[in-house]
Amino acid sequence: MYDRQTPPGTPPPAEGGSAPPERLMRVAPLDLRQHRFRTVLRGFDKTEVVSMLTEAADDFEHALRENDRLRQDLVRVEALLVEHREREANLRNTLLTAQRLADEIKDAAQTEARLIVKEAQGRADLLLQKTQVRLEEVERDINEMRLRRRGVEGSLEASIQALYHALEFIRDQDRPDDKVLLHRPRAADAVPQQTRIGADTSRAADERG
């Protein structure tokens, strides 16, 4: 009844680094308290034996309670470990998902930025082309206005020259002759002279026009 599987104080062997199997308890604290030894000649003092067994039972019971408490703590710690591992796995998955989303957002932003830059470049090229065409039109208008101005200047210069010649002619007509005739010219001579004066006046008016 009192044989044990291993000697007292010898730890149970571990197999492959795993937890040792639970040892079968063959003696309970109650057995130590209630067991009565047979009386033999020249045996041990019964009082000392009972006292020793009582103390051993108390220590054994305390050890069992401590073992139960440690086992419960182990179960609770293992549950917490499992929970922490699950949280770690969830957190890792969340981080991976966040990283993937960040990469997708970054790629989408870069693609959109390239499209915006390309569109802006296209608009700038189109605006530059329109500006170049408008500049050429303005240069053509300026050249045309210059040609018109030269034509107007030529016309004005010709008109001024014509007016100047007409004015000179009129002034020449208004000057008195150096040779004053002492007698009145004949009617036959006067008519051609008036006709000649009228013709000169018409020619001067035509030049002014």
- Summarize pLDDT for 133-177 with one digit per residue, the tens: 999 999 999 999 988 888 888 888 888 988 888 888 888 887 765
Domain count, the chain: 1
- Does some domain include residue 75? yes
Q: Which amino acid is at 49?
A: V
pTM over 0.85: no
pLDDT of residue 196: 55
- Does some domain include residue 14? no
- Does some domain include residue 88? yes
CA gap 23, 56 in Å, rounded = 19
Q: With 0-12 CB in 10 A as exposed, 13-18 as middle and 19+ as buried, what is 33?
A: middle
- Does some domain include residue 86? yes
Phi then psi for residue 12, to 5 deg, are -70, 145
- Please count the CA atoms within 13 angstroms of the CA of 100 that sit on its side-chain side: 6
Q: Which amino acid is at 202?
A: S
- Does some domain include residue 11? no
- Does some domain include residue 160? no
Domain that holds residue 107: 25-141
- Does some domain include residue 103? yes
pLDDT of residue 199: 54
- Does some domain include residue 20? no
Which helix H or strand E contains 198, and what residues bound it?
helix 187-208
Q: Express as a percent the part of the chain with pLDDT over 90.
A: 36
Distance spanning both ends of the chain, measured CA to CA:
158
Which residue bears the tokens 């082309």?
129
